[in-house]
Structure 1
Amino acid sequence: MYIAFDELPPHARLWIYQANRPLTEGEQAELAPLLKAFAADWSSHGRDLHASAVLLHDQFLVLANNESASSASGCSIDKSVNFVRELESRFGVSFFDRTQLAFLKNDKVELVPMQELKNKVAGGEISENTLYFDTLVNNYGDLQANWPREAKSSWLSRYF
């Protein structure tokens, strides 16, 4: 069952997939109905999930489920991963590259290879106050309140 993203309860569970590039306006127009259709059809052991899906900041695919209405099972999570892999193939984008970190700089998403993080911090390009898109955020309430969040408030705090 599809739920509009902005109508999710704060405890709704999230899965965030970061693209290795921003999706174009044309790609986003093609993607939007695919996301809605997936969320509407997403189920767990024959029970509809109360789900939503959206692309944020042109680059972050977010799948969500209201777990208090119906929990996602391993099989339903596998379905979502397969769906995201299909999107990768269709749009020529990677959603599973965890070696890139995303920051908000000058109102744009900037990707930084993980191996360059220490140098960027040492050079002052990334500070503890730089806004970081933490893909480990796992519920809608945290996404709304703290996303992106200051790097010092994430697992990156050890670098400062």
Structure 2
Amino acid sequence: MFVPFEELPPSARVWIYQADRPLMGTELAAVEPALAQFAAEWTSHGRMLRASAAFRHGQFLVLGLDEEVAGASGCSIDASVRFVRGLEEQLGVSLLEKSHLAFLINGQVQLLDRRELRQAVATGQLQPETPYFDNTIAQHGKLAAAWPAPAVQTWLAKYFQPSPQR
């Protein structure tokens, strides 16, 4: 059963998929019905799930599931991945690639290859307060409260620590 994200409880589970480029308004409008349909028809062992699906910041697909109603099973998670792959084909984007990190810089989502992270911190391109989209967040409450969050408040904090002197 589809529900708007705002109606999911803070404990609802979320999955975040990052597109490798920003989506245009026409693309977002074109997939909106498919998102609602997927959430409305998503099941686990034949039970309807109370779920939501939406794009955020024009670049992140977020699936949400109220596990108090029914939890996700292996088969239902497989169904969600098939849905995401279908969106990749439809939109011509990658949503399952995990090698890029997303930051909010000058009001725009910017992607950075993980291998470039240390250099970006060293040159000052990334600051401790640079908003970072931590796509490992798994609860709706954290998504609503701290996504994006200052990089130093995430698992990236270690990159902003001074190097030990030798």
Q: Is TM (by shorter chain) over 0.5?
A: yes
The TM tier, using the shorter chain, reads: over 0.9
1:85 and 2:85 matched:
yes
SS in 2 for 1:3: coil
User: Structure 2 stretches of 5 or more lacking a match?
Assistant: 161-166
Distance in 1 between residues matched to 2:10 and 2:74, nearest whole Å: 22
Query: Aligned pairs, how many?
Result: 160
1:74 alignment partner AA: G
Partner of 2:137: 137
Give per-residue Cα distances to partners, 1:20-44, cap 9 Å, x unaligned.
0011111001111110000000000
Equivalence map 1:7-156=2 (5 Å): 7-156=7-156
Q: Which runs of 4+ in 1 moved over 4 A?
A: none
Give the greater-gyration-radius structure (CA): 2
Distance in 1 between residues matched to 2:112 and 2:129, nearest whole Å: 16
1:33 alignment partner AA: P
Give per-residue Cα distances to partners, 1:49-80, cap 9 Å, x unaligned.
00000000000000010000110101000000
Over the aligned positions, Cα root-mean-square deviation in angstroms equals 0.6
1:57 alignment partner AA: H
Percent identity over the alignment?
Answer: 51
Distance in 2 between residues matched to 1:97 and 1:19, nearest whole Å: 8
TM-score (norm 2): 0.95
TM-score (norm 1): 0.99
Structure 1 residue 128 displacement after superposition = 1.1
